[in-house]
Amino acid sequence: MIYFDNSATTCPDEGVLTSFIEVNKRFFANPASIHLAGKQAETLLEKSREQILSILGAPDGDLVFTSGGTEANNLSVIGFARAFRSRGNHIITTEIEHPSVLNAMEYLETQGFVVDYLTVDEQGLISVEELKSKLRPETIVVSIMHVNNEIGTIQPIAECARIIKEHSRALFHSDTVQSFGKLPVSLKGDGPDAVTISAHKINGLKGSGILAFRRGIPPQALNFGGGQERGLRSGTVAVADAVALAKAMRISMVDEEQKEFRQWRNRLIDFIAPYDDVVILAPDQAAPHIVSIAFYRVKGEVAINFFQENGITVSTSSACSSKSTTAGHVIEAIGLAEKYKNGVIRISFGKNNIEQHVVEFEQVFARFMALLGRGND
């Protein structure tokens, strides 16, 4: 099977799996315990925290280990909004964020917060001028994803950070789940104040992630109990998950900005472009590992099933909404023509792919288009 759904989840790295198993065998004690075994587990946990913060260029920063990107985004959006409510009640985000951000924003609106949603153009790109115009004295949080999970658009995060810091006191959070390991992600300098990362997007394990942030600006806790993770996330910390995540992040840094991904993306775009009745959702500023296309009056599920029958796994535009029969919110936001909306599929590369996989995709794609009676004149 050729697996081209790496934006949904990746195959765990063997080294990550080995680390996870070894830590569970040797350092299984509760890191909050005061006996030797507990202290050893705690030492390993804190070493993992230090390694991750160093990777993010923020050795003096802080982070919370979470169950994944969704919890990290919830903790960031809701936790920071609550933490800074004394400053104001205004929040800014975009209309193409992951549901874990958008749904959290909807919840905050029921709690008296005012949320502005930045629009995007046909490439999924926000306007920094609109961002600037939306900032108010009472703006307390801005959340803008780095790379869109459905079409791969890269937002101008550095410029956004500059504008936010020049014109407000708002905390700037970025969902970097789709960008870490493919593009530079950092908390240092003029970057975001907080970022979220999910392990299973970078050949780590499902059920593990982080919210990392600059020291001195912690979010308000969303759950309560024993006060673990500096009181920000109560519950026994999964030391093996933390070690495995640090390992996955170290490995991903080595592979950052893989040239092969961009070459494959460009190759697929050039191959598909001549075909009739196919729209390539290829932003000018896009991550190297994502290519999305839309078929004219053909459901994405039909295409997915055809590719699967021919040994290739692709997905609809987002795994989070893949079972929905309606177009996703990102596809609606970019204004894709109605006749293409339900025909979107996403191809996303990972470290286990090789160029031959791209060649075989092209062959299957050509057969599918021939079956539909659509040429490439």
**Residues annotated as catalytic (active site), given as ranges:** 320
SS3 173: strand
- Measured CA to CA, the distance from residue 109 to residue 269 in angstroms comes to 40
SS3 220: coil
SS3 180: strand
User: Do residues 344 and 355 make contact, with C-beta atoms less than 8 angstroms apart?
Assistant: no
180 burial class (0-12, 13-18, 19+ CB within 10 angstroms)? Answer: buried
Q: Which helix (H) or strand (E) holds 195?
A: strand 194-198
- Measured CA to CA, the distance from residue 20 to residue 22 in angstroms comes to 6
- Measured CA to CA, the distance from residue 327 to residue 337 in angstroms comes to 11
- Measured CA to CA, the distance from residue 63 to residue 267 in angstroms comes to 39
Q: What single-letter amino acid sits at 257?
A: E
123 burial class (0-12, 13-18, 19+ CB within 10 angstroms)? Answer: middle
Can you read off the two tokens belonging to residue 238? 């999964």
Q: Which helix (H) or strand (E) holds 39?
A: helix 36-55
